[in-house]
Chain A
């Protein structure tokens, strides 16, 4: 019982703090942070655990968003079902492209993913314009019916819902990181020959990690679709391809809470700086270079050891 409580303490504390942010900051900002951190954790898992850097995460985000979007625009009204459809379409899509992609070396992987994002962008903007309404996007805010229980058609309901989803996602990733599979992912990043020697196949592990991470991205895409009530090709625009990577690095690669801290810093800075000078790329760009030169540990990667040291000092004092 105490063990379980200890295990849950981290994620619960993180999301309690995020919920408390609601008191200080506008609702839209907190929801954006929640969705974006779910989007980023997939990328962080890929980069930090498996060693795959992906400049194509928007592709998977878009698959999830359009899966939900098509359902809500053409077929039904239940947002929960839409979310499920987005999730499943992301899973199927990742499973389809995964076997081709995970064979590639890390640098090629990044660029092929970028290419995929561009293909999806033009697919949605031009080629399938009859179905996707091109640049105008699909608007289905009024199609979303209210649901019994937690009503996610309303922003307040959606806020609670995304808190719960975030908590579940974090608990899941915490579980994965501790499992044998998580250890295998790390081993496949560090030394694939030795992993083979231990009797595990690199291909299967990478494929599983790839599908897992990109299904998480698709989930974030579905949540964007339901929250905003519309989907447009802008969601997979190549200009935003590096956002999740930047946030991952900013927060601290591969760490569990890095994505949340990174998203908070990134979204906050984007809002604050664009209000001041309208030129946030400058700050983000140089911050990124600075973080990389300073040792690529990111904000959380630098803070975590200090927090742990402080915590153990407090514990020692209490024990005495």
Chain B
């Protein structure tokens, strides 16, 4: 394998991994704090992508579109949290999984009725190529990677340096004690859920120029995002970052070696990791609440 191909494969893998990371972080936070598996994050991802498409068509700027996608993702997640999640926090994990799956396919139905079934293209906002060690690398992919790392930094600062973030971390450890300290945990849940929705919207908006935007795009990445969360360990931000880049590389470099392998190899890795370490790479043995 020559270096050029290898390097562009690595960059491709990192950018895909960045998208996976942005989506998985919301899922991971929601599971850690609220013990819900929020499949509807994939809906906010699709919403983010479609708003990006519509706004970039109307305003001519993809970046504004991504911003709009983030806002819409946040609003949608806020509404879902208020009207649906409030009623199911007390129930089993599997319960939230089934309910959010209903929201996901219902939302896909809404998207189909608004934008139709035809896949939509979104223009790449920056078409410059940057030369790294003799390989032309699209600048946009680098920007995606930088955004993901910046989000990781911001989330880290938020969780470790702000009082709300500290409360969220404490809630991941033991939500009842946090409640006992006089903190309104339901407000924490809402904040976490909105953060998750905004990040999923961001992931959708950033991914839109790299692929075609179509109604079932959420279902297509579903399996990969889940794999990222599971390999990293549910509830761990650092594990999510590591496993997102790992899965991205496996998808990208695997397809260079043998194309059909690209889709399958990550699943095989996930099976292997789960069978060796059932809680994922960085997951703590989470207590049942």
Closest to A287 in B: B102
Query: Which of B37, B103, B113 contacts A285, CB < 8 Å?
Result: B103
Asked if A156 is an interface residue, CB under 8 A from chain B, the answer is no
A285 with B108, Cβ < 8 A, contacts A114-B223, A123-B264 known: yes
With A281-B106, A282-B113, A293-B87 known to touch, is A238 a contact of B94 (CB < 8 Å)?
A: no
* B109 to A, closest residue via Cβ: A282
Determine how close the nearest CB of chain A comes to the CB of B150; give it in whole angstroms. Answer: 29
Q: In the complex, what distance in Å separates the CA atom of A137 from the CA atom of B250?
A: 28
Residue from B98, B222, B223, B278 in contact with A108 in the complex, judged by beta carbons closer than 8 Å: B278
The CA of A86 and the CA of B87, in the complex, are separated in Å by: 43
Q: Are B88 and A286 in contact (CB under 8 A)?
A: no
Question: Is A146's CB within 8 Å of the partner chain B?
Answer: no
Q: Which residues of B in the span 251-281 have a Cβ within 8 Å of any Cβ on A?
A: 259-261, 263-264, 267-268, 270-271, 274-275, 278
Please indicate the chain A residues that have their CB under 8 angstroms from the CB of B275 in the complex: 100
| B107 interfacial contact with A, CB 8 Å | yes
Asked if residues B94 and A53 are in contact (CB atoms below 8 Å), the reply is: yes
Inter-chain CA distance A119–B275, complex, in Å, is 16
B102 and A288 within 8 A (CB): yes
**Interface status of B16 (Cβ within 8 A of chain A):** no
Main secondary structure of the interface of A (DSSP, over half): helix
A283–B108 CA distance with the chains assembled, in angstroms: 11
**Nearest neighbor of B39 in chain A, beta-carbon distance:** A242
A154 within 8 Å of B by Cβ? no
Interface string of B90-126 (1 = CB under 8 A from A): 0001110111011111111110110000000000000
Interface centre among B84, B104, B274, B278 (most CB of A within 10 A): B274
Give how many B residues have a beta carbon under 8 Å from the other chain's beta carbons: 42
A123 to B267, CA, bound (A): 12
B259 contact set on A, CB distance < 8 A: 126
Q: Is B230 an interface residue (CB 8 A)?
A: yes
Given contacts A282-B110, A283-B109, contact A127 B260 (CB under 8 A): yes
Q: Given the complex of chains A and B, what is the CA–CA distance between A293 and B93 in angstroms?
A: 14
B226 within 8 A of A: yes
Verify A289–B84 contact, CB threshold 8 A.
yes
Whole-angstrom distance from the CB of A78 to the nearest CB of chain B? 33
| Docked complex Cα distance between A249 and B274 (Å) | 28
- Return chain A residues, CB-CB under 8 Å to B103: 285, 289
Residue A173 at the B interface, CB < 8 A?
no
**Known pairs A108-B274, A118-B263, A292-B88; A285 contacts B109 (CB<8 A):** yes
| Chain A 102-115: CB-based contact to B (< 8 A → 1; otherwise 0) | 01111110111011
How many angstroms from the CA of A126 to the CA of B262 in the assembled complex?
A: 11
Picked from A119, A281, A288, the residue with its CB within 8 Å of the CB of B264 is: A119
Cα–Cα, bound, A133→B104 (Å)? 33
Is there contact, CB below 8 Å, between B99 and A105? Answer: no
- Closest chain B residue to A292 by CB distance? B99
User: Does A276 sit within 8 A of B, measured CB to CB?
Assistant: no
Of all chain B residues, the one with the shortest Cβ separation from A114 is B223
List 27 contacting pairs A-B, 8 Å CB cutoff, sorted by A.
A47-B94, A105-B278, A106-B93, A107-B234, A108-B274, A111-B227, A119-B268, A122-B260, A122-B264, A126-B264, A127-B260, A127-B261, A238-B223, A239-B216, A245-B101, A246-B101, A279-B112, A281-B112, A282-B106, A285-B104, A285-B105, A285-B106, A285-B109, A288-B102, A289-B84, A289-B103, A296-B95
Q: Which chain A residues have a beta carbon within 8 Å of chain B's beta carbons?
A: 47, 51, 53, 100, 103-108, 110-112, 114-116, 118-119, 122-123, 125-127, 238-239, 242, 245-246, 249, 277, 279-289, 292-293, 296
12 extra interface residue pairs, beta carbon distance < 8 Å, beyond A118-B223, A239-B216, A293-B87: A107-B93, A116-B267, A116-B271, A123-B264, A126-B264, A246-B101, A277-B113, A279-B112, A284-B106, A285-B108, A286-B102, A292-B102
